[in-house]
């Protein structure tokens, strides 16, 4: 249990609000990044450029939101996101925009490595993102 949670449980409400908001938001944003990364993977696999472009745009919005998180458990989340995730995301985005779907497929794998590198850097190495090519959605990712 974190000190903040103990103080919050002890009724010192000053410590409850920031802890709660921060915790929920970061995990939720991460969950959304995973979701959009998976859908982008399936779109790239089908060489469906407009759909991949759409999901990368959604992912970018989430990345921008994570960049706003100054600190979490003493880790500079925004700063780490900028240095660890943004460069590999930008390579991916560029390739999809240029319609280079084959290289984009490799680029998304490399981006996933940077997701995991940051989990390691923030003491969450037990969260391992793994490329999943199965379509588990009620959605067709094929072009046309």
30 binds ligand HEC (CB under 6 A): yes
* Min CB(72)–ligand HEC separation in Å: 6
The C-alpha angle with vertex 40 and arms to 132 and 98, in degrees rounded to 5, equals 130
| Residues whose CB falls within 8 Å of the CB of residue 101, separated by 6 or more in sequence, listed in order | 44, 47, 49, 52, 95
Q: With contacts defined by CB under 6 A, name the span among 39-47, 49-57, 112-120, 134-142 that binds ligand HEC.
A: 112-120
For residue 93, count CB atoms less than 10 angstroms from its CB and return exposed for 0-12, middle for 13-18, buried for 19 or more: buried
19 binds ligand HEC (CB under 6 A): no
27 binds ligand HEC (CB under 6 A): yes
127 binds ligand HEC (CB under 6 A): yes
**Total interface residues for ligand HEC by CB under 6 A:** 21
In angstroms, the CA 93 to CA 83 distance is 16
Residue pair 101/143 in contact by the 8 Å Cβ criterion: no
In angstroms, the CA 99 to CA 94 distance is 9
- Kindly identify the residues of this chain, within the stretch 51-90, that bind ligand HEC according to CB under 6 A: 72, 77, 80-81, 84-85
Residues that bind ligand HEC (CB under 6 A): 23, 26-27, 30-31, 33-34, 37, 72, 77, 80-81, 84-85, 115, 118-119, 122, 124, 127, 129
């Amino acid at each position: 249990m974190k000190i903040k949670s103990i103080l919050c449980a002890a009724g010192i409400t000053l410590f409850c609000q920031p802890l709660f908001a921060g915790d929920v938001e970061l995990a939720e944003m991460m969950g959304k990044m995973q979701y959009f990364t998976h859908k982008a993977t399936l779109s790239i696999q089908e060489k469906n450029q407009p759909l991949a472009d759409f999901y990368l745009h959604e992912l970018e919005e989430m990345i921008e939101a994570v960049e706003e998180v100054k600190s979490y458990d003493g880790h500079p989340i925004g700063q780490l996101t900028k240095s660890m995730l943004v460069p590999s995301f930008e390579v991916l985005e560029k390739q999809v925009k240029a319609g280079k779907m084959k290289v984009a497929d490799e680029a998304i794998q490399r981006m996933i490595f940077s997701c995991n590198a940051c989990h390691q850097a923030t003491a969450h190495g037990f969260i391992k993102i793994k490329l999943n090519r199965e379509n588990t959605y009620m959605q067709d990712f094929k072009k046309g």
